[in-house]
Amino acid sequence: MRDDDGVRITGVRASFYEMTWGVAITPWPTDKVLKNLIFRPEFRWDFADQPVFGGGRENQLKPGMDIVFKF
């Protein structure tokens, strides 16, 4: 995302980017009920062409996870 005027996110004129890597894990694929349980861990990398993140950094890496149960 380009914020050429510095009005959208941080008040800094910058270009922002992100990449996300994740997987979907079904730990019990043969179980009648638990086959519907999915774990989805991920890493998100945010980066910019200016130091806009905490501590004056130009990038940050954040882990995340969600759990889904399909009905």
Instruction: Kindly report the backbone phi and psi dihedral angles of residue 34, in degrees, each rounded to the nearest multiple of 5, phi listed first.
Output: -70, -10
pLDDT band at 3 (very low <50, low <70, confident <90, very high): confident
The per-residue pLDDT for 9 is 67
Q: What is the pTM of this model?
A: 0.73
**pLDDT tens string 4-54:** 887 876 788 899 999 999 999 999 999 999 999 999 999 999 999 999 888
Higher pLDDT, 34 or 2: 34
CA distances from 37 to 27, 43, 70, 71 (A): 8, 20, 7, 10
Segments making up each domain of the chain, as ranges: 20-69
Candidates 18, 5, 11, 21; CA nearest to 52 is 11
